Structure 1
Amino acid sequence: MPTLLDGKKVAGDIKNEISARVQDLKSKGKRVPNLAIIIVGDDGASHTYVNGKIAACKSVGFDFTLMHFASTISEDKLIKHVENLNADEDIDGFIVQIPLPEHISVERVTESVKPEKDVDGFTNQNFGSIVSKHQLIMPATPFGVVELLRRYNIETEGKHCVIVGASRLVGAPLGMMMTEDGKATVTLCHKYTKDLSSHTKLADILIVGVGKPGLITADMVKDGAVVVDVGTTRIEDKSRKTGFRLAGDVEFDTVAEKCSFITPVPGGVGPMTIASLLLNTMKAYEDQHGG
């Protein structure tokens, strides 16, 4: 059986480390980091994710500021709120929860965020810094994947890393991070890739994040591969209290028999994304206050 890449455990370790740093700040009479969260509308999944981020802030001793706007808010008015947070010296970092209503441009809102406070790592400046010698704030989910591999001492240098999914949020930045920081040879696959399995079967490290449950089956994975499942899809399940269950992109039960390491869904990359958000907020605080 493979070793589970337990994101929940590692995220807990990271939270304990951050809590200790927060306590040190308090002991020196300094204020603690303050994360602001903007959410627009009443999307159920978005509110679940935001509640998780608020709980994480509380668990490490961060302050937080929640700003909830109706789905009818105009793009210009939302950007005005973003600009106010940019100028607020008591806010160290903030996120704008996506998705946003159709009449609001995610790109325009994202680029309105001051890069120093962009703790999601979405702005062009932070994104571009991945391939520089002076990296700024890294995208939270890719950062979480890289940190999970690092904390399990998984060798990436010289390994063949195949990433399925080329989104701006996960696959594209992760490909650059695995090349720059991991020194891996990276193949980036997407919906236009022909004969996907011919690529995935060559992977020493296979990372999948497209939101298509069961996309990766056992016959698509090399023996001994490390498999990281970033995909998270809500599947209706009336037997569950929530009314749904979470499914990954990897057919876990059959693929696990061939792997050396594999992430579960849930409990793998998800907790690491929130832990990375906390790390990014701590970095933003320290960068702005000389920590």
Structure 2
Amino acid sequence: MKKLNKKYIKWLVILLLLIMIILSYALNLGKIKDKTVDALAQITIPFSLIVNPKNIDEDIAPKGISLNDGDMSQKKQQAINLVSKLNDDYHNTDELSFLSNDQEKALLKKVHQKPHRYITNLTLLNFGRDTHGKYITVSCNRYDDTKNIVSYRYRLYYKNDSVTSAKYLNQKNNQYPPQYVLDNVTLGKAGVDSAQNFLQRLKTAIINSNLTATSAVDPGNFNQISINLGLDPDKSNTGLYQLAKNSNSRVSNFSVIGYQISDVPRYSRFYLKQLSKDKSYYYTLTYSRNSSRFINFQKGLISTDEQNK
């Protein structure tokens, strides 16, 4: 009988424990629901997915360059000294040693298609940096028995005072040898150290205007933004429109991929690349060293490489 009573007592205790657990759960069920709702409410959904679900805002930007590049006056003097050295080497050897063998043969073949043609010297068009490194752009100036001078243009990448590679760019004709970097002209403020801050202002202005992605419908909408940034609206509204139209919600899908400096015109130009839907878009931000301010934001890559004076 005692064993039987112990068995009942055991099952009674277990039953009481189950009843307590069930009552405890029932009494706290409301609190559990509230906590679950609060937890879900704290989950944040990226704004870009609400604005444009197809635009996954991964902040993917193309490879860019650093704009912490030191004293640009020294960079200019280094470029001038390098061209002077290349000219001396050419005049001493009659060889264009800064070109590869194939490049030199291709150039001389063009030069010697007719008699009385020869390369007389090299002139400096600009200097800068891109994702491949520091470079100068030079013109190999061809003379003949006419007044016409042909400019064969090359981008030369260099390290210290040695050329590491060369890239042929284009050919131009004129009556004067092109030279856009001048030894006797002070560089002044280059704008390189202030470009990143200006681009941040530009991004903020576009975001605050709400003229991004599908909201950007007309270049004229960017006239006031251009004016507020100190840019020429007639030259900058189309560039800003394209940048905004192809941007993500944070206007962060672009990078500075290079800069280029010349004295004629007295500009520092910054080149931007934007990635959007597997397409690339390019822009030029221009800094005037005469007025010490950014003046234009334009579509495409604008350079003295293409200038013909």
TM-score by length of structure 2 reads 0.24
Greater strand share, structure number: 2
TM normalised by structure 1 equals 0.25
